[in-house]
Amino acid sequence: MSRIVVHGLEKSYGDARVLERVNVTAEAGEFLSLVGASGCGKSTFLRILLGQEQQSGGVVVVGDRPIVPQPTTQRGIVFQRYSVFPHLTALQNLLLVEDFRSGGPFGRVFGVRRRNARQEAETMLERVGLAHARDLYPASLSGGMQQRLAIAQTLLGRPQILLLDEPFGALDPGIRVEMHELLTELWTEHGMTVVMVTHDIGEAFKLGTRVLVFDKVRHDRQFPSAYGATITYDLKLDRKNRASPQDVAKVAAMVGTTRPDSAIATTAS
Amino acid sequence: MNAVPEGGADVARAPRRRPRLRLINATVSRGGALFLGTLPFAAVAVAYLFASAQRLAVNPSDKLLPSPAQMWSAFLDLATVPDKRSGDLILWADTFASLVRLFAGVSVATLAALCLGVAIGFIPRVRAFLLPFVTVVCVIPPLALLPILFIALGLGETAKITLIALGVAPVMVRDIANRVMELPSELVAKAQTLGGNSWTMVLRLVLPQVTPRLITCVRLALGPAWLFLIAAEAIASTEGLGYRIFLVRRYLSMDVILPYVAWITLLAVITDWLLVRLSHVISPWAHPVQDK
């Protein structure tokens, strides 16, 4: 529930520039969808927000101070893969949140705190529809169930910012729609700021209150990696009237999606 | 009726022939696997029995290839008749002495592998500090250190246990460190977003994740550990399985050596099996039930 201010952000790997001159301000409670062609740096942008990678220049302010270049409890994350801990059952994955939060020498809470954590974890499992799977290891959960567990786990950490890195990219279309509903509900309940990277233009328009397109504006034919991507299009969506098909088609064209029709259909669903 | 394709009846009546599959796709039935697996053992046993019978037919007091009956009686003597000089049951005294050394050495190595491996794999500063050293120590042939150990630590148990530990630990440390470095960065990032610090992440993320690999490491290390044990016992010892084998070698007592080798093999197989069971009990998540 904090605003994010990114100013003059740059990221290079050696000579290769990935991001340049990225400026964006997100108010608390916004839902930002980041889209762009593969390899345009939108995931890098997300990893910088997470603190997993450090920018080469510029500042990222979350709340009222620049972020430290390491992941903290301020920002939660759901990845596409390896999103939950494979050595813990569904319930243990959720209990781990309180264990980590306590920071004690045993990495585990006991007594009343454990009972409360268990209560909270079971409620959360119920909430995301995984009560029947509480004692299963992630390996025996389907992809959709694993992502639901991952979102539940991240939300238990009560982050101010929720970062999503193509969270539904590996799921079947039907499951994806279910996940969209769940995520929208949870976002409405918790009201945190969300930043989601996605390849699915339809998903970006359906879930986001704002769609940001990453692309390169400058090109060097002799040295393609000389210039990085920046935010080329920033579309705020009205909560009531969602995106028009023209907008979706326009963004789809910018990103280079071959199927604008399906994107428009997803947006409408 | 017309929908039935021509020749449909022929297809139904065609003899069920096994399709010819490529070698890599032809699977083996359970019984077949048991049969094939037994063959090499049977082949060695038959070859031995044949050769032994031939030699004993020419010279009944031949010592090189004793008959199974001779080996069994020699083995039984060692297991049940107290030694005239010390009063010990030699087989059990040897086994106990050797296993204590083996497990002490391997335990020390395992502990070192866990502590150093996790530290090297998880903490960049420790990695920069210790990885080059461990990498170099890894390539020192441990048996070349044996004289140094005997000189520095005396001929007692310490030198033997140290040899085993030094022999297997460096490889285990590197393996565990590698496994820790291979942990998906997503999991480490996620643990930090949930509030994990370096220590609690070691406890709740790294240790559980490397435990199955550690057990595999121990299983693989037991081979070299037996080698170093027998080498150390052969040179300076008064009891132990390796000591006994090298002692009776002077008298060409193949009737003792062969059962001892079989006994060591059996102990190694049992240890390995126990470790596999242990891994299933401690890390059930790493052994998902296989579909048939």
Q: Does the residue A251 lie in any domain? A: no
Compute the C-alpha angle A13/A19/A24, nearest 5°: 145
B139/chain A closest Cα distance in angstroms: 34
Residue B174 has pLDDT above 60, yes or no: yes
Number of structural domains (chain B) is: 1
DSSP A52: S
CA nearest to A101, candidates A83, A120, A80, A87 = A120
User: What's the gap between Cα A204 and its chain centre?
Assistant: 11
Residues of chain B contacting A76 with CB distance shorter than 8 Å: 193-194
Q: Could you tell me the strand order of the sheet in which A4-13 lies?
A: A65-66, A57-62, A4-13, A16-26, A229-236, A210-216, A31-36, A193-197, A161-165, A75-78
**How open is the CA angle B19-B23-B29, to the nearest 5 degrees?**
70
Banded pLDDT at B291 (limits 50, 70, 90)? very low
**Taking 50 as the threshold, does the pLDDT of residue B14 lie above it?**
yes
Whether A106 is covered by a domain: the verdict is yes
Residue B1, pLDDT score: 46
Domain with A96 in it: 86-158
* B13 domain-assigned: no
Under 8 Å between Cβ of B182 and B117: no
Report if residue B154 sits inside a domain. Answer: yes
Partners of A107 on chain B (C-beta within 8 Å) are 196, 199-201, 203-204
For chain B, what percent of residues have pLDDT higher than 70? 93
Strands A31-36, A210-216: pairing kind:
parallel
Q: Is B21 within the bounds of a domain?
A: no
Whether residue B2 has pLDDT greater than 80: no
Burial of residue A42 (CB within 10 Å: 0-12, 13-18, 19+) is buried
Q: Does the residue A192 lie in any domain?
A: no
Give me the pLDDT at residue A71, please: 93
Residue A19 resides in a domain: no
- Tell whether A194 is covered by a domain: no
Mean pLDDT of B145-161: 90
What's the Cα-to-Cα distance from A139 to each of A135, A155, B142, B146, rounded to whole Å?
A: 12, 21, 41, 46
The whole-chain average pLDDT of chain B stands at 90
Closest Cα in chain B to A72: B193
Query: Helix (H, G, I), strand (E, B), or coil: what is residue A20?
Result: strand
Residue B254 lies in a domain: yes
Q: What one-character DSSP code corresponds to residue B63?
A: -
> d(Cα A62, Cα A69) in Å, to the nearest integer?
12
Please indicate whether, in this complex, the C-beta atoms of B205 and A159 are within 8 angstroms of each other: no
Q: Is residue B152 part of a domain?
A: yes
What's the pTM?
Answer: 0.85
Distance in Å, alpha carbon of A107 to nearest chain B alpha carbon: 5
| CB-based contacts of A247, cutoff 8 Å, min separation 6 | A205, A235
Task: Write phi, then psi, for A258 (nearest 5 degrees).
Answer: -85, -15
Between A240 and B47, the more confident residue is B47
Helix (H) and strand (E) counts in chain B: 12, 0
| Distance spanning both ends of chain A, measured CA to CA | 28
Using alpha carbons only, how large is chain A's radius of gyration in Å?
19
Residue A87 to residue B282: CA distance in whole angstroms? 11
CA gap B115, B123 in Å, rounded:
12
Q: How far apart are CA A119 and CA A95, in angstroms?
A: 10
Quick one: pLDDT at residue B185?
A: 93
Nearest-angstrom CA–CA distance, B30 and B22:
19
Domain that holds residue B199: 77-284
Domain CATH for B240 = 1.10.3720.10
pLDDT average, residue stretch B131-155 = 90
Q: What is the pLDDT of residue A241?
A: 63
The pLDDT averaged over each successive group of 10 residues in chain A (269 residues) is 85 88 90 87 91 91 88 92 92 94 88 93 91 92 91 91 90 85 88 91 88 86 82 78 73 70 67
**Per-residue b/e over B94-107, b at no fewer than 16 CB within 10 Å?**
bbebbeebbbbbbe
Q: Has residue A245 been placed in a domain? A: no
**What residues of chain A lie within 8 A of the CB of B288, using their CB?**
137, 139-140
Residue B8: band (very low, low, confident or very high) from pLDDT cuts 50, 70, 90: low
Stretch (H or E) spanning A163: strand A161-165
- The percent of residues above 90 in pLDDT, for chain B, comes to 73
**Average pLDDT, stretch B48-77?**
92
pLDDT at A268: 64
ipTM: 0.89
Q: Has residue A146 been placed in a domain?
A: yes
Q: Kindly state the average pLDDT of the residues B176-202.
A: 94
For the cut 50, the answer to whether the pLDDT of residue B292 exceeds it is no
Does B45 map to a domain? no
Q: What is the pLDDT of residue B6?
A: 56
Q: Is residue B237 in a domain?
A: yes
DSSP annotation of B82 reads B
What pLDDT is attached to residue B9? 56
Q: Find how far residue A159's CA is from the centre of its chain.
A: 12
To the nearest whole Å, the CA of B170 is away from the closest chain A CA by 27
Residue (of A27, A117, A17, A1) closest to A57 by Cα position: A17
Residues of chain A in Cβ contact (below 8 Å) with chain B:
50-52, 70-73, 75-77, 79, 81-83, 85-88, 96-97, 99-101, 103-108, 137, 139-140, 153-154, 157, 159
Query: How many domains is chain A partitioned into structurally?
Result: 1
| Contacts A101 to B, Cβ<8 Å | 194-195
Chain B residues within 8 A (CB-CB) of chain A? 184-187, 189-197, 199-201, 203-205, 208-209, 283-286, 288
pLDDT of residue B15: 65
Q: Enumerate the H helices of chain A as residue ranges.
A: 42-50, 90-102, 111-127, 143-156, 173-190, 201-207, 245-255, 260-268
Which of these ranges, B112-121, B141-150, B264-273, has the smallest mean pLDDT?
B141-150
Task: Flag whether B53 is in a domain.
Answer: no
Of A73, A69, A126, give the one whose Cα is nearest residue A97: A73
Instruction: Give the pairing of strands A57-62 and A65-66.
Output: antiparallel
For residue B288, the chain A residue with the least C-alpha distance is A139
CA atoms of A9 and A60, how far apart (whole Å): 8
